[in-house]
Amino acid sequence: THSVAPMADNAVLRIFEEKRREGQVVRICAPMVRYSRLAFRKLVRAHGADVAYTPMFVAESFVESQRARDADFRTCPEDRPLVMQFAANNSVVFGAAAQLAKPYCDVVDLNCGCPQRWAMQEGYGSALIKSPDKIRDMVIQARNQAGMAVSVKVRLRENDARTIDLARQVEHSGAVWLTVHGRTPEQRGQPVNHSAIKLVKESIGIPVVANGDICSEEDVQLVRNLTGVDGVMAARGILANPAMYDQATAPATVPTEVVRHWLQLALEIGTPFPCFHHHLIYMLEPVLSRSDKREFNSLTSTVSVLDYLERRFGITCS
């Protein structure tokens, strides 16, 4: 038998409770490789996101290499509440990663949802949804070794019964919430299965977060009404519009002041040019013509991007 360490009061769980009392959902910025770095996390927090995730780190590299940790992870006191996500397939390594992460975040998340071939071949991500015992061992190890709250992100199994069984096993492991991407690992562009997410929500007692094709405030409300979930998680939608969670304005496309705010944060914090540029490519996609996109996407320096934005839109970062 495994003992499960009791969890101390947790900032993210307090947000789940506050939103539940208010009849609201928790609005979450997803873990995105290359994209959910510090500057972008600060941007979305300023425009309605309640919780932000880091990009996914491979736990083994994170534990073994100080260089890998320093290269890929930056934070600051305002970067909270923060969830650090790990790909892992070994409970001791995941526990060690959680211990290293503990001073810098509120929760560690175990990625059991990534469907990419490299992850599956390494036994990471979606490969784990067929091994609930392994998920349980990793969650328990991180809780006991690091005293950390642990959440889990999964995709759907091949049928509802197996998905519900997986969700119940995750709950019994001591995970503090479960994020469900509403597709199986094999599915890509197919519609999200909201009825399966609803069944998960009805089958377990811990908070459930819905993920998949949430791109606007309208989607947030639709998914909430269809599933009864406690939280929603956006990835591509929040890349295109970092203000999508701003309930006061609920903008359909990214406002000019949000683009300006991105310039300020990215330059102030120091963001690699490809990341800085790609965020703007996502944000400006709806408002640029095909020829404008060709020109903007071909820019190769921060100076040329700033010049383009001022010339084309009158946007400056001062």
Q: What is the pLDDT along the chain (318 residues), one digit of tens a residue?
A: 333 433 447 999 999 999 999 999 999 999 999 899 999 999 999 999 999 999 999 999 999 988 888 888 999 999 999 999 999 999 999 999 999 999 999 999 999 998 888 888 888 999 999 999 999 999 999 999 999 999 999 999 999 999 999 999 999 999 999 999 999 999 988 999 999 999 999 999 999 999 999 999 999 999 999 999 999 999 999 999 999 999 888 788 899 999 999 999 999 999 999 999 999 999 999 999 999 999 999 999 999 999 999 999 999 986
What integer pLDDT is reported at residue 247 of this predicted model?
Answer: 84
List 29, 105, 114, 275, catalytic entry = 114
Task: Output phi, psi for 201, to 5 deg.
Answer: -60, -40
The DSSP secondary structure of the chain, one letter per residue, reads ----PPPPP-HHHHHHHHHHHHT--EEEEPP-TTTSSHHHHHHHHHTT-SEEEEEEEEHHHHHH-HHHHHHH----TTS-SEEEEEE-S-HHHHHHHHHHHGGG-SEEEEEE----HHHHHTT-GGGGGG-HHHHHHHHHHHHHHH--EEEEEEE--SSHHHHHHHHHHHHHHT-S-EEEESS-TT-SSSPP-HHHHHHHHHH-SS-EEEESS--SHHHHHHHHHHH--SEEEESHHHHH-TTTT-TTT--SS--HHHHHHHHHHHHHHT--HHHHHHHHHHHHTTTS-HHHHHHHHT--SHHHHHHHHHHHH-----
CB of 150 within 8 A of CB of 176?
A: yes
Give catalytic status of residue 114 as yes or no: yes
What integer pLDDT is reported at residue 79 of this predicted model?
Answer: 97
Can you say how many angstroms the Cα of residue 15 is from the centroid of all Cα atoms in its chain?
16
What integer pLDDT is reported at residue 259 of this predicted model?
Answer: 97
What integer pLDDT is reported at residue 5 of this predicted model?
Answer: 39
Q: How far is the C-alpha of 126 from the C-alpha of 128, rounded, in Å? A: 5
Burial 246-255 (b: 16+ CB within 10 A, else e): beeeebeebb
Q: How far is the C-alpha of 155 from the C-alpha of 160, rounded, in Å? A: 12
Cα 42-39-288 angle, rounded to 5 deg: 105
Amino acid at 150: V
Q: How far is the C-alpha of 262 from the C-alpha of 119, rounded, in Å? A: 31
Q: How far is the C-alpha of 129 from the C-alpha of 157, rounded, in Å? A: 7
Burial 174-204 (b: 16+ CB within 10 A, else e): bbbbbbbbbbbbebeeeebbbebbbbbbeeb
What integer pLDDT is reported at residue 69 of this predicted model?
Answer: 86
What integer pLDDT is reported at residue 305 of this predicted model?
Answer: 98
Counting Cα atoms < 13 Å in the Cβ hemisphere of 143 gives 22
Q: Which two tokens stand for residue 268?
A: 């102030």
What integer pLDDT is reported at residue 186 of this predicted model?
Answer: 92
pTM score > 0.75 for this model?
A: yes
What integer pLDDT is reported at residue 6 of this predicted model?
Answer: 39
What integer pLDDT is reported at residue 297 of this predicted model?
Answer: 97
What integer pLDDT is reported at residue 317 of this predicted model?
Answer: 83
What integer pLDDT is reported at residue 117 of this predicted model?
Answer: 86
